[in-house]
């Protein structure tokens, strides 16, 4: 499990609550029709596809509620080796102080 920044909305998400951000091995599970621009990006549970490839509904399209949704300046954070968010420019890992 690790934290990442959603590439669409910029919020903090955990791989455990977003099917790994819908990337990697999880990507093939979803119906990307009309969402082609999102494919391959790390997505939070709100931005993730709402339909699986087999036509059944995912629970995505809404926040999971496992923790508070925190938005950060988009594109400014990466996941470091410890699985935490790190500010790309400063290397700081206390992402909460960048919350917007």
Interface residues with Zn ion (CB under 5 A) are 6, 8-9, 44, 47
Sign of the torsion formed by the C-alpha atoms of 81, 20, 33 and 64: negative
- Please say which residue, 68 or 81, places its beta carbon nearer to Zn ion: 68
CA separation for the pair 73, 8 (Å, rounded): 11
In the complex, what is the shortest distance from the CB of residue 45 to Zn ion, in angstroms, rounded to a whole number? 8
| Residue 38 CA: distances (Å) to CA of 14, 15, 16, 91 | 18, 16, 19, 27
Residues 45 and 65: their CA atoms lie apart, in Å, by: 10
The CB-of-46 to Zn ion minimum distance in angstroms stands at 5
DSSP secondary structure code for residue 54 in this structure: T
Least spacing, CB of residue 13 vs Zn ion, in Å: 7
Name the residue with tokens 């102080």: 97
Report in angstroms how near the CB of residue 19 gets to Zn ion at its nearest.
Answer: 13
Looking at the Cβ atoms of 8 and 51, the one nearer to Zn ion is 8
Comparison of 54 and 100: residue with beta carbon closer to Zn ion = 100
Nearer to Zn ion, 43 or 87 (CB): 43
């Amino acid at each position: 499990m690790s934290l990442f920044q959603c590439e669409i909305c910029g919020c903090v998400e955990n791989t455990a609550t977003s099917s790994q951000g819908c990337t990697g091995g999880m990507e093939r599970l979803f119906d990307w029709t009309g969402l082609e621009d999102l494919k391959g990006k790390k997505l939070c549970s709100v931005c993730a596809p709402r339909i699986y490839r087999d036509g059944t509904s995912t629970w995505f399209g809404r926040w999971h509620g496992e923790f508070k949704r925190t938005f950060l300046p988009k594109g400014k954070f990466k996941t470091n080796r410890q699985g935490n968010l790190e500010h790309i420019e400063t290397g700081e890992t206390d992402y909460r102080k960048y919350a917007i």
